[in-house]
With several copies, the nearest count.
Chain A
Amino acid sequence: MSERNDFPRMVRVAKVVWENPSTCTILFDERMDVKPGQYVMVWLPRVDEKPMSVTYAGGKGLGFTALVHGETTRKMGALKKGDLVGVRGPYGNWFDFAKAKKALLVGGGVGVPPLAFLAEEMAKKGMRSMFIMGARSKDGLMFEQRIGKAAELRVCTDDGSKGRKARTPELVAEALAGERFDCVYTCGPEIMMKKVFDECEKRGVECQASLERYFKCAFGACGQCCLDDKLVCADGTVFGSAFLRKSSEFGRYSYARTGARITLEEWMKHGM
């Protein structure tokens, strides 16, 4: 009867793959039509429901990749084949690469998974992109092989344990100085993305950033995920330079679960 259904649907875990000591990919035998940059709401019954970017979709089944840190992601990390998990979505818009010829992808930490998916989709279309991956240390890197097959991969870590000892914005500045890119696609901590965006602005290169806020409904009704007059859950999560440029909140403010506006630093420290 219903056309839209935004109740979670329970699906069985097909496989759990650890990408690094603190990051795991949960895969389901599910076909879902998802574009890179879209996400699903993942429900662990009696625990919580969280937005997770889609890492794999289509023939390979559905998958997302979680950084295990808080209570819910810890429980995600403990999932076993056959366990039931609730999923609704996919939600949000996606990285638009219809017009891009040469793309630069910039992923930080657990922002890498959706970009790995994007790099693969670009490769399928015959595009060879550059991928800058950053993490605190080598233990935070992931999908190096997978990305390596689809793009030219450059790695950096804060502590230099692998790749360049640098932060991604530095590598972005270098890359943009060296080559002409049509568009920079980025996902990672917002403070990093703000810096990446600033580099793009200096060079006059279009940027698409996938943003995070605290999500409740995921379909643009409750208003929790607001960013200026946008709803990150439904108008985003991917925003282009035109919006990022005039945004008064991007890189600065987020909203706590209470609804209070807080600085991004507070958000990062205390969460919501």
Chain B
Amino acid sequence: MARIDLSLSLCGVKLANPTILASGFLGVSPFTLERVGRCGVGAVTMKSVGPRPWPGYPNPTVVANEEFMLNAVGLPTAGYKNIEPEWEGMRKLKIPFIASLYGTSLEEYAEVAADFAARKPPLIELDLSCPHAKKGGHQFATNLDLARKLVEKVKAVTGRRVPVFAKLSPNCPNIGEIAAACEAAGADGITAINTASAMAIDIEAKCPVLYNKRGGLSGPALKPIAVKCVYDVYEKVHIPIIATGGISTGRDAVELLMAGGTGLGIGTAIYLRGIDCFEKICGEMEAWMKENGYTKVKQLTGAAHE
């Protein structure tokens, strides 16, 4: 029996397996990220860091059931100038990390990105769908021109030093084209997708459950939307994709790889299956691959496009 090889390279960064902790989960301190690292994850993503300190929204910020999670945490951040201890902790991690950042204007993205790039993290991820951006939510990830300009501006300051992934939103009719625009502007990879805009109303309370009213949908309910988006993006770009959205089993993982993922972002599965979901998912993937005659995880990427 051939050994199963789950390893891969993401823009030159070696991962033991394709599972990646999605941004916003357990990423407040490097200690918890280190713990996730001990749970068999291939890489971890920091909680997105913004230009200035911002507390996010009051609670409820995160609610969930077996079908979906809904959150409006609101991108709290200490601000990029105040995260020295985190960088320190990150550098000590035994697995690669992805440094996620956001801004509320092109200038702010560039400002944070310049600081990040100088610290040479393995990878940078641009969260382009900021729910409290000045000009309204998702503006960067849902507007072709803005997405292009933003990636251009960021790449101008980061140069060739660090690969930059653009994280896109499903709340648009043309994610494939937006991804292509990001690639043309110099993005080294695409992360797809962020959460879908959603809301839950408590009918006894007669008001939205989340303090911010609107929030982002993640988890199993998001998966069919994520598969479609990743499939769209894969058709339009040649750079690697971190496929994200609703992955909670090995079968889900294989599905998102076949749609076009090279890496796999995983978040809500932590709620559904515990922090060791990464180990579990890798184990299930391996078993499935064995049964179906695959030896390398790379054989799965984009397989549904043949």
Which residues of A are at the interface with B, using a C-beta cutoff of 8 A?
1-8, 10, 41, 43, 45-50, 84, 86, 88, 215-217, 219-224, 226, 228-229, 231, 255-261, 272
Contacts and interface: CB of A to CB of B under 8 A. Distances in A.
**Chain B CB within 10 A, most for which of A49, A215, A217, A221:** A221
Interface residues of B, number: 49
Interface stretch (B77-85, B137-145, B228-236): B77-85
Given A48-B58, A255-B28, A219 B64 contact: yes
A45 B204 CA distance: 10
Nearest to A49: B59
B202 A221 contact: no
A84 B202 CA distance: 11
B32 A5 contact: no
Interface in B131-160: none
Nearest to B55: A257
B78 A256 contact: yes
Interface string B208-219: 010100000000
A3 B67 CA distance: 10
Contacts of A221: 25-26, 62, 64, 69, 267-268, 270-271
Contact of A4 (B26, B60, B65, B211): B65
B25 A222 contact: yes
Contacts of B205: 8, 10, 43, 45, 84, 86
Contacts, number: 136
Contacts of B275: 220
A6 B64 contact: yes
A226 to B, nearest CB: 4
Contacts of A2: 65-67
Contacts of A256: 55, 78
B78 A258 contact: yes
**Chain A CB within 10 A, most for which of B53, B82, B205:** B205
Given A1-B66, A6-B63, A223-B26, A229 B31 contact: yes
A119 to B, nearest CB: 30
A23 B218 CA distance: 38
A84 to B, nearest CB: 6
A255 B76 CA distance: 12
Contacts of A10: 202, 204-205
Given A48-B58, A219-B271, A86 B34 contact: no
A164 B272 CA distance: 49
Contacts of A255: 28-29
A51 B47 CA distance: 23
Interface in B144-197: none
**Chain B CB within 10 A, most for which of A88, A222, A256, A258:** A222
Interface in B29-75: 29, 31-32, 34-35, 47, 53-56, 58-67, 69, 71, 73
B121 interface: no
A257 B76 contact: yes
Nearest to B63: A7
A45 B71 CA distance: 16
Q: 5 nearest interchain CB pairs?
A: A260-B78, A49-B59, A223-B26, A10-B204, A217-B62
A219 B54 CA distance: 23
Contacts of B65: 2, 4-7
Contact of A229 (B24, B34, B54, B73): B34
A4 B54 CA distance: 31
Contacts of A50: 59
A220 B31 contact: no
B27 interface: yes
A231 B64 contact: no
B25 A223 contact: yes
B32 A226 contact: yes
A228 B26 CA distance: 12
A48 B211 contact: yes
B202 A259 contact: no
Nearest to A272: B55
B28 A43 contact: no
B202 A260 contact: no
Nearest to A3: B66
Contacts of B270: 220-221
Contacts of B60: 8, 41, 43, 49
A41 B47 CA distance: 24
A232 to B, nearest CB: 11
Nearest to B26: A223
Given A221-B25, A259-B77, A216 B47 contact: no
